[in-house]
Structure 1
């Protein structure tokens, strides 16, 4: 199947309340955010359903993008200009033999602010704002993907066992909770490995699973936030002129999960 779509949407405007700062008075009201989305792709499956392949190319143009920026210690929603998100996503499922399934997915994202002239500057530096036109949106890695393998087979008395392992990859990206182009909020690319062995009861009425997530114990930041009152607390880095807090992703996790349905 070949397809093409065009769609539009919006996020309503609003008000920033509880702020008596004169300098921020002009930021009390923010306008609606609008988006235009274009997609072109295909969906393919062989007649025996051994191979399934889907791919989509897309472009999303966002106007009056609503950004939650931090001015001092005050969070303010403001319209920051226009944003373009475009890329390609593809996914595949392959069943080469009975009971074995392979799957993979990859995404390429080209993210760029077409206009963001008055972005908040990196904390601790002057002037108060700078131009982020041409910078990517936060949490927008150029490359990301997943791959997995699963084998399932029946055992005695109507029981079934499933063995599965997954690998996910997230490319280098800005992980800051504020869009300010701070190079110290860049999270390097990382991969996470997980595995699971599951025993299913008759008619899948119950299951017991042994699982392991982040088996290589990779340390990474899910997001990086500006530390409020970093200087008074003695947490400001004198070299970078800013204080940041890394919210660390879950470490290696092992466990047992029991489920039942009734």
Structure 2
């Protein structure tokens, strides 16, 4: 299985005391199996996938206000699969999530 991650951030002064920033990231996970044992009846191949996230924000003193987006392609990836006699359970990331964050440091 191959896993790669790439993230970038750009930050600049907007005014004398406010900084603006932009972040973007891509995570890729190659195909994998749920077990190391090929004879396992429930050994399942998980397909490769990538996830994209981004954030735009401003910082002033201890305050941070940002608009973010996670899983921007709304990929229903398989993070894990558990197969058993009573059914199949698929674990996947949250769907596309967009929101606003306000935070402060003390």
Q: Report the TM-score, using the length of structure 2 for normalisation.
A: 0.85
Q: Would you tell me which structure has more helix in proportion to its own residues? A: 1
Q: Structure 1: how far apart are the matches of 2:8 and 2:36?
A: 37
Alignment partner of 2:55 out of 172, 191, 196: 196
Gap runs ≥5 in structure 2? none
Q: Report the TM-score, using the length of structure 1 for normalisation.
A: 0.37
What is the RMSD of the two structures over their aligned residues, measured on CA atoms? 1.9
SS of structure 2 residue aligned to 1:250: coil
Number of residue-to-residue matches in the alignment = 104
Displacement of 1:257 after TM fit?
1.2
Displacement of 1:149 after TM fit?
2.4
Alignment partner of 1:214 out of 71, 92, 99: 71
SS of structure 1 residue aligned to 2:79: strand
Displacement of 1:211 after TM fit?
0.6
Alignment partner of 2:19 out of 156, 160, 179: 160
* Counterparts in 2 of 1:147 and 1:218: CA distance versus 1, 3 Å: same
Gap runs ≥5 in structure 1? 1-140, 231-242
Superposed CA deviations along residues 206-228 of structure 1, whole A, max 9, x for unmatched, are: 1011110110011112211123x
Q: Structure 2: how far apart are the matches of 1:157 and 1:261?
A: 20
Displacement of 1:180 after TM fit?
4.1
Corresponding residue of 2:88: 244
SS of structure 1 residue aligned to 2:81: strand
Q: Structure 1: how far apart are the matches of 2:10 and 2:92?
A: 32
CA contact under 8 A between 2:47 and 2:78: conserved in structure 1? no
Q: Structure 2: how far apart are the matches of 1:170 and 1:216?
A: 15
Displacement of 1:248 after TM fit?
2.0
Displacement of 1:183 after TM fit?
7.1
